[in-house]
Amino acid sequence: MPKQKSFYITTPIYYVNDVPHIGHAYTTLACDVLARFKRLDGYDVMFLTGTDEHGQKVEKSAAAAQMDPKLFCDQVSERFRELAQVMNFSHDQFIRTTEPRHFLSAQALWQRIEANGHIYKGAYSGWYSVRDEAFYAESELVVAEDGTKVAPTGAPVEWLEEPSYFFDLSKWQQPLLDFYEKNPHFVLPKTRMNEVTSFVKGGLNDLSISRTSFKWGVPVPGDPDHIMYVWIDALTNYITALQYPDMDSEAYQTYWPADVHMVGKDILRFHAVYWPAFMMAAGLEPPKRVFAHGWWTNEGQKISKSLGNVIDPFGLVNEFGLDPVRYFLMREVPFGSDGDFSRQSFVTRANADLANDFGNLAQRCLSMIAKNCDGKVPQPGTLQDADAMLLTDTANVLKEVRVYLDDQAVHLAIEAIWRQISRANGYVAAQEPWVHRKTDPQRMATILYVAAEAVRNLAILSQPIVPESMAKLLDQLGVPETDRGFDQLGEAGSLVPGTPLPPPIGIFPRITEKESA
Ligand code: ME8
């Protein structure tokens, strides 16, 4: 049997210094959509998410909460697991950097890089931002409104002087540039690839990769006074989950190099510069792709705890239901660009695309079948051109969607599906099955069969985005759970005339103004 194609996608592992908010839900949701799509398309998928539990930021948060750091991590990490459940994420693994398997892996990667001669001991003196867990050169700092020097992200910085191990990042400038040239789509969107390339062209300094002034981390092998810099620790999670250092393991062999590391634009440099350099220095393959998506604001304002405008994904799902939230987040903003969350645009979008477009199409077609076809899949007669065209066009949407999703253009994939929903609505409106009810019931049956087939195809295609609603819709069409993969699109999985259908129920209720007030 030919080996199944594999697909490995990862989210950033989130810091446990804070409870999950809409930004975290967004990144993992995008990965969930891509993972579900690839599974339905016949791939062997590994979808990884988890929490990043080391570093000074987490240590400080635990101290502020007057908690033992491990207990603090257990508690917050659990919130991320709950978010995954509430959002219906289909991850295959949830990793925590405090797990013993991760210590083993991070230390093994360090030793491999060291054995290859790329780590040396020295002393670091310079600026550090705990909030960003990042080192900054003097030249990168900017002056804040109050006159203090801050990181380019606006985060406070402190002057550090301590013994440190260094990674010889400066030597990786040319290998990285060669790698980007050979893999021009290593970073997407393209503008982000350009940013990364010009950053690397500007020259790279060796990177301090250990700290001695706090303890919450993975000890440096052979020198436990040092703990690893949180980013070398964190990035290694992507291979820990594949049983590294056992590179003969089935997991490592099957899934490495990763197909997509999904990240926000804030952490692109760590993933597109440091991580491939670490991997090359270890003599291992770098990942295939880093996709950096944009940043959400709330009603035009930066989302921040201090502004008190953090959008709580649990609250949103509670208020509106899960699938409208999933749909809105994936559809509203071109994936890769920044986006603004506003209640008004949420309600408008959910009502227009879900309740009106898809909801009405399904409801109209299913209720006519219930009323006029004895509640059974109708028996179609001879197909006319318009019928055949709708069926062919609907089955062909997959090809388009595949191309978009290979570039993680999730919004374009959704647009393509919804264009076809519009065409199907147009077909029903033009064919007017209700007109034929008395005069030509056979024609009515054919139109309803064709429309139901279109709905079946569109529901199968939309499962990655709105899985719960599509499961309900496919139940209503009598499609067995085993027949919902993309191999069932088109004629392969055609509805069987005569199949009894359950009474139709609406899948996308309208959000009323009262609720949205
Ligand atoms: O950086 N809009 O963790 P983190 C969109 N532990 N996405 C947002 C967002 C917003 N307003 N706010 C956060 C870390 N995100 C490290 C990662 S990976 C080896 C280690 C999302 O908890 C976005 O994906 O600060 C961003 O990159 C991530 O949360 C940062 O999460």
Please give the full DSSP string across 36-65, using - where no structure is assigned: HHHHHTT-EEEEEEEEE--SHHHHHHHHHT
What is the tens place of the pLDDT at every residue in 422-432? 999 999 999 99
Dist. CA 362 → ligand 1 center (Å): 37
pLDDT recorded at residue 299 = 86
Q: Is 416 in the pocket of ligand 1 (CB under 6 A)?
A: no
Decide: 272 and 243 in contact? Cβ < 8 Å.
no
Tallying the residues shown for the chain, one arrives at 517
Dist. CA 218 → ligand 1 center (Å): 21
Decide: 462 and 394 in contact? Cβ < 8 Å.
no
Decide: 134 and 160 in contact? Cβ < 8 Å.
no
Specify the ligand 1 atom closest to the Cα of 14.
22
Say yes or no to pLDDT of 516 above 50: no
What is the tens place of the pLDDT at every residue in 105-154? 999 999 999 999 999 999 999 999 999 999 998 999 999 989 999 999 99
Separation CA 320–CA 308 (nearest Å): 21
Separation CA 368–CA 382 (nearest Å): 20
Tokens of 232: 């070398």
Q: What are the counts of helices (DSSP H) followed by strands (DSSP E) for the chain?
A: 21, 18
Q: Is 449 in the pocket of ligand 1 (CB under 6 A)?
A: no
Q: Is 266 in the pocket of ligand 1 (CB under 6 A)?
A: yes
Task: Tell me the average pLDDT across 281-289.
Answer: 98
Handedness of CA 59, 60, 66, 71 (dihedral sign): negative
pLDDT band at 244 (very low <50, low <70, confident <90, very high): very high
Residue of 346, 334, 336, 357 whose CA lies nearest to 412: 334
pLDDT recorded at residue 18 = 83
Tokens of 264: 């926000």
Dist. CA 389 → ligand 1 center (Å): 44
Instruction: For residue 188, give the H/E element and its range.
Output: strand 187-188
pLDDT recorded at residue 1 = 54
Residue nearest (by alpha carbon) to ligand 1 atom 4: 14
pLDDT band at 514 (very low <50, low <70, confident <90, very high): low
pLDDT recorded at residue 2 = 57
Q: Is 453 in the pocket of ligand 1 (CB under 6 A)?
A: no
Tokens of 489: 């699109």
| Strand pairing category for 260-264 and 290-293 | parallel
Dist. CA 74 → ligand 1 center (Å): 19
Dist. CA 16 → ligand 1 center (Å): 11
Specify the ligand 1 atom closest to the Cα of 265.
27
pLDDT band at 383 (very low <50, low <70, confident <90, very high): very high
pLDDT band at 481 (very low <50, low <70, confident <90, very high): very high
- Residue of 263, 270, 333, 337 to mutate, ligand 1, most atoms within 8 A of C-beta: 263
Residues 6+ positions from 366 with CB-CB distance below 8 Å = 452, 455, 476, 477, 501, 504
Say yes or no to pLDDT of 344 above 60: yes
Buried/exposed code over 145-155 (b: 16+ C-beta within 10 A; e: otherwise): eeeeebbeeee
Q: Is 235 in the pocket of ligand 1 (CB under 6 A)?
A: yes
pLDDT band at 238 (very low <50, low <70, confident <90, very high): very high
Dist. CA 377 → ligand 1 center (Å): 47
Question: What proportion of the chain, given as a percentage, has pLDDT over 70?
Answer: 98
| Angle between helix 360-372 and helix 467-476 axes, rounded to 10 deg | 20
